[in-house]
Structure 1
Amino acid sequence: MCGISGLFDTQGRRSFDPTLAQRINDVQAHRGPDEADLYFEPGLMLGHRRLSVIDLATGQQPLFNVDGTVGIVFNGEIYNFQSLRTELEALGHVFRTRSDTEVIVQAWMAWGPECVHRLRGMFAFAIWDQKQQTLFMARDRMGVKPLHYALLPDGTLVFGSELKVITAHPGFERQIDPQAVEDYFALGYVPDPRCIYRQAHKLPPAHTLTWRRGQAGLPTPQPYWDVHFTLDNPISLADAEAELRERVRESVRLRMIADVPLGAFLSGGVDSSAVVATMAGLSKLPVRTCAIGFDDPQFNESAFAQMVADRYHTDHRLEIVQSDDFDLIDTLARLYDEPFADSSALPTYRVCQMARKHVTVALSGDGGDESLGGYRRYRMHLGEERARQSLPLGVRQSVFGPLGRWYPKADWAPRPLRAKTTFQALAMDSAEAYQHSMSRLRTEQRRALFSEAFQQSLGGYQTVDLFRQHAAKANTDDPLALIQYLDYKTWLVGDINTKVDRAGMAHSLEVREPLMDHELIEWLATLPSSLKIQGGEGKYVFKKAFEPLLPHDVLYRPKMGFSVPLARWLRGPLAQRMSESVLSDRMLDSGYFQRDALERMVQGHLKGQADHSDALWALIMFDAFLRVSHQTA
């Protein structure tokens, strides 16, 4: 696992300042503390920070072929590199290292841009082909590894694993993108391919980008893969269970290849428990497992993690985090480079910090909920979808639209009486309804919060536009498959993968996600949705498959999630900081917000009139972003 950086003169062959190159490479030293190197030629700089995981002795980067005409900087792991190496050697390619990095170089020489179709893993890389004067960039199918880039006004391309590489360049203009702000307050993160700054971009998952010297303008990223929900697999439940266990086993086995200490996160949830159970069946030694517990019983899953650890005799480490552990706000703002409002970033940071004391590589259970229908919101959406399909949109808008506007926001009431969101969703199409359910601040809340001038700067853009764009490409009428596809394109990449990558890399910890293996996901997309959610039970086939391997209480208890007591924090120990942050001069002078709306939200939460904790946390993290970005400018 590593950090990559680079500078490319898209129009000529200007030399780059070595001091500048060193600075933009070292700003992400946490991603690769073991080694660092830079490569220069006229019009090009390639930089690398290395966390040694495979081929510790000879895997240094930038890495070139024998005659020095093809080089690479690479972040990630190619899990099928050994079989690819055998195939390439049969074609006459000669290797000088045992690294997966060199396999990508030789694959480029053999197959050119089509090489990405051969790679199974998590990756972001840039290949320089001197003969073709071409820089080729690629990102893995599920967006596990990040890649940011910006074309500067002078024709310089700057790229890197993290946005801080780009903002460290003095030629980069930190002009905030209003549409990114709209997206952030809707979702809690800035979704791909947008960045918080206008001039910067994220390379989307499963895309490549080709830069040819002398080519004018900004090239368009090209897709090379997508998830296709066929849902037409005639397999029986028993056979699906057996095949699912075997496919998970293969995916886990590939991710256990490492030349450094390896372990796993064990939260006590279904997904991480299944990964640990599978690892135990593949390992001769006890699996190293790491868990975070909370001193607040309402948020503590450690007892369930202990059940799995005891069953498989793992080398289990548990650390208890205080429920008022919120001292990381500025740390997270610096770490994520953009505003990021998922409060589970706090415990994720802590579990990565703890795991790094014992291992260099950790397997996680991320991705299981999205692929197997595990979220409660999926079941709620399917219920709403049945109602939407029974009435025309016009009728629903005329009936449920007014109800959604008039019904009070009753956060204090029992769940069946909190009908406002449901009424609003029933008046919408499927994509809009799902985006509505995913929102930190719903559309009407954002309109009330944003200043008139800022709303005008959006030019009519709303985050639902992004969801509709993705929905148009989903190519499925199945309600569950559609929202799974939307999550693959937005939530999984922008929130989950971003959170885990930055938290892991902050501690030089490589996190691998066997449930995001693209071949596993392709197969799961062939299974009927009835095998994923059945009788109100999410992850139905997954739980049935792992019944022989996991305790019943782990499989069939209510999902808790990796969350923190936000509402209590913001009315208690964080109340003063919340008020000072949300109503700071930075926020009031930014031009984005209406002062009276901010004040109403703060006072309404403090007085217990409403639960605005998600919205307030998003505002706190936005203020932290403004403060930290000003400090580093």
Structure 2
Amino acid sequence: MCGIAGIYHERADRSVDPDLLTRMNDAIAHRGPDGDGIYRTEGVGLAHRRLAIIDRAGGHQPLFNEDGSVAVTYNGEIYNFQELFEELRTRGHVFRTHCDTEAIVHAWEEWGEECVTRFRGMFAFAIWDSRQQTLFLGRDRLGIKPLHYAFLADGSVVFGSELKSVLAHPEVDRGLDLHATEDYFALGYVPDPKTIYRAVRKLAPAHTLCIRRGQPKAEPRPYWDVHFAETSTLSEADAAVELVERLREAVRIRLVSEVPLGAFLSGGVDSSAVVALMSQESGRVMDTCSIGFDDPAYDESNYAQQVAKLYNTRHAAETVSGDETDLVERLAGMFDEPFADSSAMPTYRVSELARRRVTVALSGDGGDELFAGYRRYRFHGYEEQARRLMPAPLRQPLFGLLGRTYPKLDWAPRMLRAKTTFQSVARDSVEGYFHGVSVIPDEMRQSLYSEKMRRDLGGYSAIEVFRAHADKAPVDDTVALAQYIDLKTWLPGDILTKVDRTSMAVALEVRVPMLDHHFVEWAATLPRSFRLRGKSGKAVLKKAFEPLLPNDILYRQKKGFSVPLASWFRGPLAERLRSAVLGPMMADSGLFDRAALKQLVDDHQSGRSDHAAVLWSLMSFESFLRQDGRAPGADLGYAA
């Protein structure tokens, strides 16, 4: 696991500034504390920070082919590199290391832009081919590893693993993207391929970017997609058996490491399944780590302890409390753009805990998206049934009225909190799902924005992100559509971003076997009833692991990796919240209605309403503005 950066000039006779390239590389030194490398040639510079995992002696980067005409800087793991070595050797390629990185340069020589289709793993890389005068950027299928880039006014290209690396270049425009800002307040993250800055983009998952000197500006190109289609003919019992064996193989190939390796263990189904298979496959005592909370309503550490005892792991656990205000500030520096998933706090803490023992950790991320584990998929299915039963001309005004008039009962039992459901059913399927997952609903966002912000948005809404994916979704089921949208937005934009930034902040590599693309493609062929049945998601996954895990791990009510923000904002974080949301940075930004912000804070802290998620989004945005170095009232330079 590593960090990469680079500069490309359209003119070959324009040299790359070595000091600038070094600054870009140093900005991501935390991603690779074991070494660094710089390569400059004919208007191109590649930089690398190394976290040594495989071939620690010989895998230094940038790395080259036999004659030095092809160079690569790369972040990730190619798990099938040994098979690629064998195939490429039969085609005449000569290897000088035992590192997976070398498979990339030779695969490029052999298959060109299609080389990415041969890789099994997580990756973000940049290749410079001097013979073809070509810069080639690639990112893995699910977006496990990040890659940011910016085209400059003169045709130059700057790229890096994190935004901070790209922003180290003084010619990158730091004006905010207003559409990305709207996306953030709707979703809690900035979805690919946008960033919060108008001039910088993320290379989207399963995309490449091929820049050939002397040719017109290149555009990203997709090379893979996941097709949710119920084509499997397996019985559920046979699917459960095959699921375990497929996941076992995905775990097995991720156990290759020359450094200590362990796992995150939350006590949920997914991480427990991964730990069970790791323990069986490794043949040794595994290190596991978990984080709990001082609020028992959110704490699952006892379940993690139960699995750890079952598989005799060396288990370490710590507790996160609400008085860690220093961590709130540090998170903004890790993400470089607004990020409102509060579970980044425990994810950072569990990464920090794991890094004291291991350099590589496996996680259970991806199981909810693949097997419909989130409660919202079940609710979306119910809402779709209501939409089918009632024609839109009748349904929209009826449920629209109920959504407007039904009170927002944050304090009531869940079955009585129907306002969001009514509002969702009044909408079409995509808009209803968007409304259900939005951190800040449409009406509230509009009330929080200033008049100027609303005007400058020009009618744009973050729903367009979901519609764009829905329009090309290869699915045949409404729940599968929600899963597909999540795989394109929530998974790379929130879950995988959270894990990458928090783990790499402490130089920990995290591997995600449930997002092995072979496993993903197979899971997407299973019938909906294997994923979602009645009130339970992950039906076949739970059935598959009944022989390996106890029922109270598999079938208890899902809590999720959530944080008790509501009580923290009325207690240890109360003053920090008020000073951030009602302070000069937000007031002078020109983006918000200050009276609406004050009402929101007052309502929450008085106990009248629960606006914890909304307030965390606002507080995180204020932290971003300060981390970005903008003085209160400074021009944000945003553009719609």
Question: Which category describes the TM-score, using the shorter chain as reference length?
Answer: over 0.9
8 Å contact kept, 1:10–1:215: no
Partners of 1:446 and 1:244 lie apart in 2 by 42
- So what's the TM-score if we normalise by structure 1? 0.98
- Quote the residue 2:410 is aligned against: 411
| Amino acid in the other structure paired with 2:605 | L
- Quote the residue 1:363 is aligned against: 362
Alignment pair present for 1:288 and 2:271: no
Pick closer, same or farther for the CA change 1:347–1:326 going to 2, 3 Å.
farther
Partners of 1:315 and 1:330 lie apart in 2 by 32
8 Å contact kept, 2:261–2:358: yes
For 1:1-26, what per-residue CA distance to the aligned partner results, in whole angstroms no more than 9, with x for missing partners?
00000000024431121111110111
Partners of 2:279 and 2:38 lie apart in 1 by 40
Note the C-alpha offset of 1:301: 1.0
For 1:231-290, what per-residue CA distance to the aligned partner results, in whole angstroms no more than 9, with x for missing partners?
121100110011000000000001101111000011100000000000111112111111
Partners of 1:141 and 1:2 lie apart in 2 by 18
8 Å contact kept, 2:226–2:474: no
Partners of 2:490 and 2:51 lie apart in 1 by 27
- Quote the residue 1:343 is aligned against: 342
Partners of 1:326 and 1:438 lie apart in 2 by 27
- Quote the residue 2:102 is aligned against: 102
- Quote the residue 1:151 is aligned against: 151
8 Å contact kept, 1:400–1:423: yes
- Quote the residue 2:299 is aligned against: 300
Alignment pair present for 1:204 and 2:204: yes
Note the C-alpha offset of 1:324: 3.5
Note the C-alpha offset of 1:461: 1.1
Partners of 1:198 and 1:321 lie apart in 2 by 35
8 Å contact kept, 1:79–1:254: yes
- Quote the residue 1:74 is aligned against: 74
User: Which stretches in structure 1 are left out of the alignment for 5+ residues?
Assistant: none
Alignment pair present for 1:278 and 2:292: no
Note the C-alpha offset of 1:401: 1.2
For residues 434-473 of structure 1, the aligned pairs below 5 Å read 434-473=433-472
Note the C-alpha offset of 1:615: 0.5
8 Å contact kept, 2:286–2:313: yes
8 Å contact kept, 1:13–1:44: no
Partners of 1:193 and 1:405 lie apart in 2 by 34
Secondary structure of 2:274's counterpart equals helix
- Quote the residue 2:637 is aligned against: none
| Amino acid in the other structure paired with 1:417 | L
Partners of 1:372 and 1:95 lie apart in 2 by 40
8 Å contact kept, 1:294–1:323: no
Partners of 1:475 and 1:228 lie apart in 2 by 5
8 Å contact kept, 1:323–1:564: no
8 Å contact kept, 2:228–2:476: no
| Equivalences, count | 632
Partners of 2:121 and 2:516 lie apart in 1 by 7
| Amino acid in the other structure paired with 1:189 | Y
Alignment pair present for 1:127 and 2:122: no
For 1:129-156, what per-residue CA distance to the aligned partner results, in whole angstroms no more than 9, with x for missing partners?
1111000111000000000000112322
| Amino acid in the other structure paired with 1:527 | L
- Quote the residue 1:552 is aligned against: 551
For 1:517-545, what per-residue CA distance to the aligned partner results, in whole angstroms no more than 9, with x for missing partners?
11001001110010011132110000000
| Amino acid in the other structure paired with 1:473 | K
- Quote the residue 1:171 is aligned against: 171
- Quote the residue 1:390 is aligned against: 389
- Quote the residue 1:15 is aligned against: 15
8 Å contact kept, 1:144–1:501: yes
Secondary structure of 2:262's counterpart equals strand
Note the C-alpha offset of 1:323: 4.6
8 Å contact kept, 2:322–2:573: no
Partners of 1:560 and 1:198 lie apart in 2 by 37
Alignment pair present for 1:215 and 2:210: no
Instruction: Between 514-523 and 393-402, report the one with greater CA deviation.
Output: 393-402
- Quote the residue 2:320 is aligned against: 321
For 1:436-482, what per-residue CA distance to the aligned partner results, in whole angstroms no more than 9, with x for missing partners?
11111000010111112111221221111110110111132301110
Secondary structure of 1:327's counterpart equals helix
Alignment pair present for 1:594 and 2:597: no
Instruction: Between 373-382 and 287-296, report the one with greater CA deviation.
Output: 287-296
- Quote the residue 1:354 is aligned against: 353
8 Å contact kept, 1:326–1:346: no
| Amino acid in the other structure paired with 1:150 | A
- Quote the residue 2:527 is aligned against: 528
Partners of 2:215 and 2:164 lie apart in 1 by 26
Task: Give the aligned CA root-mean-square deviation in angstroms.
Answer: 1.2
Secondary structure of 1:66's counterpart equals coil
8 Å contact kept, 1:307–1:551: no
Partners of 1:11 and 1:221 lie apart in 2 by 21
Instruction: Between 239-248 and 389-398, report the one with greater CA deviation.
Output: 389-398
For residues 597-608 of structure 1, the aligned pairs below 5 Å read 597-608=596-607
For residues 367-378 of structure 1, the aligned pairs below 5 Å read 367-378=366-377
Secondary structure of 1:471's counterpart equals helix
Partners of 2:298 and 2:35 lie apart in 1 by 39
User: Which stretches in structure 2 are left out of the alignment for 5+ residues?
Assistant: 635-640
Instruction: Between 313-322 and 108-117, report the one with greater CA deviation.
Output: 313-322
Note the C-alpha offset of 1:297: 1.4
- Quote the residue 2:332 is aligned against: 333
- Quote the residue 1:508 is aligned against: 507
8 Å contact kept, 2:37–2:48: yes
Note the C-alpha offset of 1:304: 0.7
- Quote the residue 2:184 is aligned against: 184
- Quote the residue 2:259 is aligned against: 260
Partners of 2:10 and 2:408 lie apart in 1 by 53
Partners of 1:99 and 1:415 lie apart in 2 by 52
- Quote the residue 1:30 is aligned against: 30
Note the C-alpha offset of 1:294: 2.0
- So what's the TM-score if we normalise by structure 2? 0.97
